Structures are given as C-alpha cells and as structure tokens.
Chains A and B, each alone.
Chain A
Amino acid sequence: MKKDAVLRVENLKKYFPVRKSLFEFMSSKKEEYVRAVDDVSFSVQEGEVLGFVGESGCGKTTMGRTILRLIEPTSGRVYYEGIEVTSLDRKRVKSLRRKMQMIFQDPHGSLNPRRTVADILSQTVKIHGLANGKTEEDELIKNTLEEVELKPTEEFWDRYPILLSGGQRQRVGIGRVLILQPKLVVADEPISMLDVSVRIGILELLLRLRDKFGISFIYITHDLSTARYVCDRIAIMYLGKIIEIAPTEDIINKPLHPYTQALVSAVPVPDPTVKMHELPIKGYVPLIPAEVFSSCRFYPRCLHTRKKCREEEPPLIEVGHDHYVACIKAK
C-alpha cells in the first residue's frame, strides 16, 4: 500500500445476521449471516476517483457507509490520513465527518422539504461551527451556491426543494457536502435518479471539484458507462468482495475476471448497429447470499470453471500494472 493514501481500508467486513424464526431459535439453529462486505481492502489516493461497480446487493453501498461509520463494521480497519477511523469514539468521528462526507442517491428524499436552500446549508454551517456570525455564514453559503452553479444565488436562496429540478436538488446536496471542505466524498449513485440530459452536468461538477479542491471520491454505481466517464480506477464487486480492480480503461477494454467480462458485455450500447451477443454467464445472483464460500464465489455462474475453483477462494493478485484479479485463470 502506498504511503500518501487519503483512505486505506484493510480487511473490512460487515455481516448482517439473518433473522431466525422462533422455531429455528428454539431448535438452536446455527446463526447465519449475510456477508454484505466480506474482507475488502483498498486505498484511495488524493484527488483520485475510485469507482465501485456491481449489481444490486453486492455490498457496494454497505461498504461506502461502513467506511464513514454510518454503519459499524464487523471487523477490519479504515484509516483516514493515517488515523484509524474504526476505533474512534463518537465525538471524534463527528469531527472527522467534516473531512469524510457522503452524497446520496435520492435528491428528493435527502433534502428537508420544509427548509429553504439557504436553511439547509446554514444548518450544516451551524452544526460544524464553520462561521462566526451571520455575515460570514451568508458569505460562505453564497460562495458554495456559486461553486455548485446554482446561480444567480439570490434566485435559489429562499427556494424550497420542491421548486427545484432533480439536478438542482442534487447540486444542493453536493453544496451541503462541499461547504465542509471535505477531503473524501463517498458518492452513492449520485446521478441514477436524474434525467439523462442533466446527468453529465453533475458528473462534470464532481470532476471540477476534484480538480479544484483535490477531493478524493469513492463513486458507487451500477452503471459502467458513467463510471468510465468519471473514474480513474474501477473496482468490481461480487457478493461482498472485490473480484477485480484496475485502471478504468483496463477494466473496460481488457477485463480479466469472467464476471467483469460478463458485466462489460451486458452494458447496453447506444448504437443500433451493434448486435447483442449471448452473455458469458449463467444462473442468477442468490436471493439471500448467506452462504459461506469455500470455493470461488462466482463458481456457480462461471463458464470457465476448473477443479481448483471449487476447492478454494482465489485471492486478489496483481497480474499487470495496478491490475488485480481474484481468479486462478488470470495468472
């Protein structure tokens, strides 16, 4: 692991217990867990955008929240600039939250409908004590609104979220994060609920903030084509584990893990002359993935299995420059 990483995650795990029925409880059935995040390690450099891509239920959102300690991890360590986040008490976590923030998926649900845009931002300013007095606060809010391109600021100042479009709401959400001058932002599907015509605008904004303030992003999405547009590196998750992580164009153009290959070829292309081919995958994602894996977790769906795949879980190994894969075939 490199030294200057803003964030370092080591062997992070989050298990959720599966609820048992009374009968199962009485018969003392063994405790079962959904392994939402199962031994994940990675690091994020300053100003880097690291994408986490996977299907729903692969644990990418849980992972993002666990890093910020919005959910307590089962085990593992998270370091922010060398400080171990996972062992901090609540007070210290709060002061650290200034530096580690989150942008949520649903811009309609994450803003208080009874507060105006300025109120929403001023609440953040007050909670974290960012300003001395009203003038300084207003100045700060005004600058932030300009930064997220809600201009002219007077026009948006007293508006309620209901009078904003989806894209504008998401900009308020980004402003609320930006006003704290964070170093690391977890963006959880920030554009999936927005219209196509405004999506790119939000992505451009994120990239501009990265360039201007050196903010690092963890960009969580199910959409490889937009991830390609913003991410420096992409990690592919399957059932709680990173199965491949590499620079973006390597993931898109030479995916090595069979799951990544299936995922890449499943992405629809906006070109009617491209024909759909058969997907190199079989079966479905299990409904409740409570199984303990002694084999490769992709084994049941893989088309290239060998005997060894059934016997042990392959580790994530480096196969090329900065390209890591968890598959025995990729050596």
Chain B
Amino acid sequence: MALLEVENLKIYYFTREGAVKAVDDVSFSVDRDETLGLIGESGCGKTTAVFAIMRFVAPPGRIVGGKIIFDGNDIITMSNEEIRLLRGKGIAMVFQAAQNALNPVMTVGKQITEVILEHERITKEESWERAKRQLELVGIGSERVKNYPHEFSGGMKQRVMIAIATACNPRLLILDEPVTGLDVIVQRQLLTLINKLRKELRLPIIFITHDLSVIAETCGKVAVMYAGKIVEQASTVSLYENPVHPYSQALIRAYPSIKGEKRGLKSIPGAPPRLINPPIGCRFHPRCPYAVNICREEEPIFRKKNGHLVACHSIK
C-alpha cells in the first residue's frame, strides 16, 4: 500500500448560489519514494485537494465523500487530537505565498523551535540546536537564527518556511506553489534545494503548481487537474512527450520555452468553467477541439493508454 492514497475525494463548498464542486471524485496516490506534481489552472481545485489531506477544509467547504488513507489510517475520520499530532509531524505543508506566513515579530529560530517543541519532548536548548541545524540544511547560516523575517529576502523566507516544515522529519511534504512569485534565479536556487532535500531526507513530496516547467524539473509523476477533476496521470517524461488528454496537449502547446527553436504557441479558446454549474459530460468539452456528442452527455471514465491514466472518450 502506498504512503498516501486518496480515493474518490469530493469536496464541495456550499454557497448561497449552490454547491461549488471544487474537487469532484479525485483519486491519486503517493508512494514512499515519489514526487507527485499536481498541475492545473487557478480554481481547478488543486489546493483544495491537498488542504483535505491536512484536514484544513473549513465551512462553507466540506469533504462530502471519499477516503484519504495515510499510512493505513483514514485522515477524514481522525479525531481532532490525532490530526493535531499528524500536522507538522506526519505531513507538513508549505503554503502558497509562504513568505508572508512568517510571524513578523518573532525570530525565525523561535518559529522553528515552536514546531519542534510542540511535537517532541526535548529541552529548549536542544530545540535551538535543531533550529540552527535546520537553517544550515536549507542553506542559511546558523548565525541568523535570531534574525527577524524582515531581515530576509523573499527566497530566504521561503527557505525558512521549508526549514520549519521539515523540522520534525515529516513523512510527507506538501509544497503549494513554493516558487511562484519569486525571481527566476531565486526560483532555481530553491528548486535545487528542494531536489537536494528530497534526496537527502528521502522525503516524498506533493508539488502543486500551475507552472509546467517547474514540474518538469522536480517531479517524477504528474496529475493534470481541470475543473475539479484529474484528467490525466502519467510519469512526467511520458506526459511531456506524449500527452494523451486534449487538455494536457493544449496546456503543453500553450507553454513557451526558452530552449531550442522558437515554436508557435496555441492558446486554449474560452476560459475554465465555473464549478457551481460545471458542463455536463466531460468538463473540458466546451473548449475541446475534438468534442463529439458523447462528450457532451457522459462523463468519461479513466482508461489506460501508453501507461497513462486518462479520462477521455477518445480512448477506446
């Protein structure tokens, strides 16, 4: 059994206008030596899906169905105390725009020791030693342990966030858009760090991003999400070389690259649907160039093609 198994997960937000199906019947798994990339446009439900793994979904949102099995236990049915112990220790998460998530009036060292003291029975002195080691681990000198967040640049703050997230040796790390909004050089330095940590700590990672090239540099396996659903899952290399689902194909064709010949790019017509009232049948059909009648009527199920799991009617 894989480390994390998400099965038929459904998360709806109950608003006055009706239920927004943010995550609708999503399944994926992460094994002990895997890096899974979740990719999709904003509003496709990728952040909501991983929020459920940490049980962060709050009203008006609700997990209405499915299972999240982490190391044999179902997260959805855990007690609040069990969840508290799990967060930070079992699964840790670095949030989107994490640079702004640091407490501005607390030294970074204090913020690292907080997590450690919460989960482990060690003395304060030991926890400060650990905090220093954590800073060294992410490439910041231990002498900066008494610095405040404003003394760090954006990329350095993100490093501190990673130091906090890995402080208690979690068994799964979730990174939600960790490099978005950072400059390319800083971005590259962070990706190198993430790859190094993954190898050194043998840490499975779920990597959420809207950026195809970031996935290409970090993840072994990818799940493409569209309008609350996963439409294709495959190994990264195979997905980039032979995308099967029309949405994956379109996404890759819309992405400019700096390497090689300058090639023509194609935008995807239209915009993602509103999830309060998603299209009937395949959710991508209004934007799909290959849509036929069945796509407008029936939801496609997952089928295997070239080792990819794809939800598209075009596969027989």
- Interface on A for B, CB 8 Å cutoff? 55-56, 165, 167-168, 195-201, 204, 222-226, 228-229, 249, 252, 262-264, 266-274, 276, 279, 281, 284-285, 287
B-side contacts of A196, CB under 8 Å: 41, 210-212, 251, 254-255
Complex CA distance for A274 and B257, rounded to whole angstroms: 12
Query: Could you tell me the dominant secondary structure of chain B's interface residues?
Result: helix
Q: Nearest B residue to A265 by beta-carbon distance?
A: B188
Known contacts A268-B214, A272-B237, A273-B237: does B254 contact A197 (CB below 8 Å)?
yes
- Chain B, interface size category, equals 35 or more
* Given known A-B contacts A262-B185, A266-B184, A272-B237, A198 and B271 have beta carbons under 8 A apart: yes
Query: Is A271 a contact partner of B216 (Cβ separation < 8 A)?
Result: yes
Q: Which residues of B contact A276 (CB under 8 A)?
A: 188, 191-192, 195, 217
| B183 touches A (CB below 8 Å) | yes
With A and B bound together, what is the CA distance between A249 and B260 in angstroms?
11
Q: How far is the CB of A237 from chain B (nearest CB, A)?
A: 12
Q: Are B267 and A267 in contact (CB under 8 A)?
A: no
Q: Can you list 13 A-B pairs with a CB-CB distance of less than 8 A?
A: A165-B271, A195-B271, A196-B254, A199-B254, A200-B254, A200-B267, A204-B267, A224-B184, A225-B256, A267-B258, A269-B258, A276-B191, A279-B185
Assess whether B259 is in contact with A271, with CB atoms less than 8 Å apart.
yes
A263 and B187 CA atoms in complex are apart in Å by 11
Is B258 within 8 A of A252, CB to CB? yes
Structural contact, B191 and A268, CB atoms closer than 8 A? yes
Residues of B within 8 A of A (CB): 41-42, 153-156, 183-189, 191-192, 195, 210-217, 236-237, 240, 250-252, 254-259, 262, 265-269, 271-272
A270 to B211, CA, bound (A): 8
Query: Does A270 contact B213, Cβ atoms closer than 8 Å?
Result: yes
Pick from A55, A195, A226: contact of B256, CB under 8 Å: A226
Q: A222's contact among B154, B184, B252, B272, by CB below 8 Å, is which?
A: B184
Closest 9 CB pairs of A and B: A268-B213, A201-B267, A200-B267, A55-B183, A197-B268, A165-B271, A195-B41, A270-B213, A272-B216
Separation of A64 and B265 alpha carbons in the complex (Å)? 27
List chain B residues, Cβ under 8 A from A168: 271
A25 to chain B, nearest CB (A): 22
Given the known interface contacts A165-B271, A200-B265, the answer about A272 and B188 at a Cβ–Cβ threshold of 8 Å is no
Asked if B184 and A268 sit within 8 Å, CB to CB, the answer is: yes
Chain B residues positioned under 8 Å from A201 (CB to CB): 267, 269
Cβ distance A155 to chain B, nearest Cβ, rounded Å:
13
Chain A CB within 10 A, most for which of B187, B215, B217: B217
Interchain CA distance A105-B183 in the complex, whole Å: 16
Query: Contacts A196-B210, A201-B267, A271-B216: A266 and B254 contacting too (C-beta < 8 A)?
Result: no
Check A228–B258 contact: CB distance below 8 A: yes
Min CB gap B141→A, angstroms: 13
Q: Tell me, in angstroms, the Cα distance from A165 to B254 when the chains sit together.
A: 18
Task: Look across to chain A and name the residue whose beta carbon is closest to the beta carbon of B271.
Answer: A165
**Candidates A55, A226, A252; contact of B184 at CB < 8 Å:** A55
Task: Please give the distance in Å from A306's CB to the nearest CB on chain B.
Answer: 23
B216 close to A270 (CB less than 8 A): yes
Q: Which of B210, B212, B236 gathers the greatest number of chain A CB atoms within 10 Å? A: B212
Complex Cα gap A38–B250 (Å): 42
Neighbouring A residues of B240 by C-beta, 8 Å:
270-272
19 further A-B pairs in the complex, CB-CB below 8 A; given A55-B186, A56-B154, A196-B210: A195-B41, A195-B272, A196-B211, A197-B271, A197-B272, A201-B269, A222-B183, A224-B258, A228-B258, A267-B258, A268-B188, A269-B217, A270-B240, A270-B257, A271-B213, A271-B216, A271-B259, A272-B217, A284-B186
